[in-house]
Amino acid sequence: MNRPLNSESVYINDGNKSITQFLNERDRKILDIGCGAGSNGRLIRELYPSSHVTGITCSQTEYEEASKHLNCCIYADLDKDNLFFEEKFDVLLFCHVLEHLVDPVSVIKKLLPHLKAEGKVIILVPNIATWRERWKLALGRFEYTESGIMDKTHLHFYTFHSAHRNLIDPICTLQVQLKSVTGNVPLAFFRHHFLTSSVKKSIDDLGCKYFPNLFGNETIIVATLTKKI
């Protein structure tokens, strides 16, 4: 659960654990674009102590907090500022940030020259077509919230099927390697009173595998460079 740090649109959490399954020991230098308060970077550095995580944020409060947890943090507006780095990165991480930007594709293109050959681009965006949001819409409810899929600061909405078409396909130098989702199957009171943890996980895994656009809360895309930029 995200927790506001102050009156700004600034959030701190325990980090997104779904990111870690797409990283390994070879991913030494990571650029965390839209790093927030540094929660993901802290999680990555705990799992891979040899990793070097650089964050970017446009919030002064986030910058001050993230600087405590990351190797380096940059205060910049992704939509407006030009960014220059002396080093290249193994991973460009966009975790729940692209939906907040005016022109997310332009931002990805702007940062690609700083990605190493055969480097990875990892993107996580919320899935607007998940069953909870479909149910709300069926009841005539389309309301913005302080956080979550309907965060009031979101400028773009994606589904499992549209995310790569809107974010990766327009960039000829990127190729999708895999797509996945995290989410759960609605099991009501059975989830809490009758089913074991292993059974619940198996049901959720199967639901997300065969019906990702229905049961996935977030879409995860891993792409790599197809040719030299």
pLDDT tens, 21-38? Answer: 999 999 999 999 999 999
| Predicted local confidence at residue 187, as pLDDT | 83
Place of tokens 């594709």: 105
Q: What are the distances in angstroms from CA 120 to CA 27, 154, 194?
A: 9, 25, 41
- Structural domains of the chain, ranges and CATH numbers in brackets: 3-184+214-225 (3.40.50.150)
pLDDT tens, 170-186? Answer: 999 999 999 999 999 99
Q: Which ranges constitute the DSSP H helices of the chain?
A: 39-47, 60-66, 104-111, 131-138, 163-167, 188-193, 197-210, 212-215
pLDDT tens, 147-160? Answer: 899 999 999 999 99
- The sign of the CA dihedral 124, 165, 76, 54 is positive
Per-position b or e across 57-80, b if 16+ CB within 10 A of its CB: bbbebbbebbbebbeebbbeebee
Confidence band of 196 (pLDDT split at 50, 70, 90): confident
- Does the pLDDT of residue 57 top 70, yes or no? yes
Longest Cα–Cα distance of the chain, Å, equals 55
> To which H or E segment does residue 125 belong?
strand 115-126
SS3 assignment, position 132: helix
Average pLDDT, stretch 198-217?
95
Mean pLDDT of the chain: 91
